[in-house]
Structure 1
Amino acid sequence: MNLRRLKYFVKVVDIGSMTQAADVLHIAQPALSQQLATLEGEVRQQLLVRTKRGVTPTEAGKVLYGHAQLILRQCDQARVDMDAAGRGLSGAVAVGLAPGTAAAGLALPLLRTVRARHPGVLLYLNETYGSTLSELVMNGRMDLAVLYGGRVAVHGLQFLPLLKEQLFVVGPASLPAPPEHVPLRLLGEMDLYLARPYNVVRKMVDEAFAGIGLAPRVVAEIESASTLTAVIADGLGATILPESMARTVVGACKAWQCRIIEPVIEAPLALCQSDHLPLTEPAQAIKEILLELVAALPGSLIAGDDTRLSVS
Structure 2
Amino acid sequence: MNLRRLKYFVKIVDIGSLTQAAEVLHIAQPALSQQVATLESELSQQLLIRTKRGVTPTEAGKILYAHAHIILRQCEQAQLAVINAGHALTGQVSIGLAPGTAASSLIMPFLQMVREQLPEVQVYLHEKNCSSLNDKVIHGALDMAVLYERSPTAGLTSTLLLKEELYLIGAGEGPGRNVDLAEVARMNLFLPLDYSAVRKRVNEAFSLRRLSARIIGEIESIQTLSAAVASGMGVTVLPESASRAMVSSGNVWMSRITSPMLNLPLSLNVSSRLPLSPSAQAVKNILLSLLSKPVIEDCELMLVG
Instruction: Provide TM-score, normalisation by structure 1.
Output: 0.87
Q: Which residue of 1 aligns with 2:211?
A: 214
Which amino acid in structure 1 is aligned with residue 109 of structure 2?
P
Alignment of 1:153 onto 2:152:
yes
Q: Which residue of 2 aligns with 1:303?
A: none
Q: Which residue of 1 aligns with 2:13?
A: 13
Deviations, residues 49-72 of structure 1 (Å, cap 9, x unaligned): 445554443332232122222222
In 2, Cα distance between the equivalents of 1:218 and 1:49? 40
Q: Percent identity?
A: 53
Q: Which runs of 5+ in 1 are unaligned?
A: 301-312
Greater mean deviation of Cα atoms: 212-221 or 129-138: 212-221
Which amino acid in structure 1 is aligned with residue 295 of structure 2?
L
- In structure 2, relative to structure 1, the CA distance for the partners of 1:223 and 1:26 (3 Å cut) is closer
Instruction: Provide TM-score, normalisation by structure 2.
Output: 0.89
Q: Which residue of 2 aligns with 1:204?
A: 201
Secondary structure (helix, strand or coil) at the match of 2:255 reads: strand
- In structure 2, relative to structure 1, the CA distance for the partners of 1:31 and 1:224 (3 Å cut) is closer
Question: 1:240-259 residue pairs with structure 2 within 5 A?
Answer: 240-259=237-256
Q: Which residue of 1 aligns with 2:104?
A: 104
Contact 1:229-1:252 within 8 A present in 2 as well: no
Deviations, residues 115-169 of structure 1 (Å, cap 9, x unaligned): 11111111101111112111111211111111111x3122111211101111111
In 2, Cα distance between the equivalents of 1:49 and 1:261? 52
Q: Which residue of 2 aligns with 1:297?
A: 295
In 2, Cα distance between the equivalents of 1:3 and 1:140? 16
Alignment of 1:234 onto 2:231:
yes
Secondary structure (helix, strand or coil) at the match of 2:295 reads: coil
What is the Cα deviation at residue 92 of structure 1?
A: 1.2
Q: Which runs of 5+ in 2 are unaligned?
A: 299-305
What is the Cα deviation at residue 4 of structure 1?
A: 1.7
What is the Cα deviation at residue 172 of structure 1?
A: 0.5
Q: Which residue of 1 aligns with 2:303?
A: none
Deviations, residues 254-287 of structure 1 (Å, cap 9, x unaligned): 1111111221111111111112111111111111
Which amino acid in structure 1 is aligned with residue 112 of structure 2?
R
In 2, Cα distance between the equivalents of 1:29 and 1:195? 43
In 2, Cα distance between the equivalents of 1:187 and 1:14? 43
- In structure 2, relative to structure 1, the CA distance for the partners of 1:9 and 1:256 (3 Å cut) is closer
Which amino acid in structure 1 is aligned with residue 247 of structure 2?
V
In 1, Cα distance between the equivalents of 2:271 and 2:3? 23
Aligned residues: 297
Q: Which residue of 1 aligns with 2:278?
A: 281
Structural RMSD (CA): 2.1
